[in-house]
Amino acid sequence: MNVTGALDDISVGTAVVVVALFLAVMTGPLAGVGVFFAEWMLALLLVPIAVGYRLLFHRPWLLYAEAADGRHVYVRSVVGWTAGEQAIAAATAQIVNSGYPPDGWVRIQ
């Protein structure tokens, strides 16, 4: 008995059904809904990968501080989640006290 021939028929049939359903969803009246959910699924896949990459390879996080009027923007690069939290806390305290971010923040605008 040749089992591979039966499996090939099942695989081809499954592929045809999947392609037909995909085309029906993407060309039907609810195509926008399908695209919307596909974008969200892509985001839900890529965000954890990007965070894991930064944590695993110690890539720096960029922190931004912008003045309320939008005239001044400061940026600082930190490595690590805890270092980022500490830099944000220190910048918040410094800005409340003096109106300017602490040393290490670079003005870009």
The answer to whether residue 68 is domain-embedded is yes
Per-residue confidence (pLDDT) for residue 86, from 0 to 100: 92
- Give Cα separations from 55 to 59, 60, 101 (angstroms): 7, 9, 26
The answer to whether residue 74 is domain-embedded is yes
The answer to whether residue 33 is domain-embedded is no
Determine the distance from the C-alpha atom of residue 84 to the mean position of all C-alpha atoms in its chain, rounded to a whole number: 18
Range of the domain at 75: 59-109
Determine the distance from the C-alpha atom of residue 89 to the mean position of all C-alpha atoms in its chain, rounded to a whole number: 24
The answer to whether residue 39 is domain-embedded is no
Per-residue confidence (pLDDT) for residue 25, from 0 to 100: 73
Write out residues in the chain with pLDDT < 70, as ranges: 1-10
Count of domains forming the chain = 1
